[in-house]
Amino acid sequence: MTAAVFSSHVASPVSAPSRLSQVATRVMNALIESRVRSAARELRRHEALMSDLGRRQDHSPLFLDQSDDLPFKL
């Protein structure tokens, strides 16, 4: 007959994360937040550009007419 003996710290899961794990989590969260802010800023910039181009095309004779040739080759 065999008996297994476990100490209490091996059998119970570790409840407190290590200090390195906490620091890594904070760094990753800060990086993610930074990327989200940067993407939101780029999206606002793009939307402003698109609305500006739409307004200019509707009201300005300086923009190309729909029948005009494009100034560059596709």
Cα 4 to chain centroid distance, Å, stands at 50
pLDDT in tens, 1-59: 455 555 555 555 656 678 999 999 999 999 999 999 999 999 999 999 888 877 765 55
**48 domain residue, yes or no:** yes
The domain of 22 spans 18-59
Overall number of domains in the chain: 1
Q: The whole model's pTM is what?
A: 0.49
Taking only Cα atoms into account, the Rg of the chain, rounded to an integer number of angstroms, comes to 30
23-28 long-range Cβ contacts below 8 angstroms, 24+ apart: none
Q: Name the token pair of 28.
A: 């990753």
**66 domain residue, yes or no:** no
d(CA 72, CA 27): 45
**70 domain residue, yes or no:** no
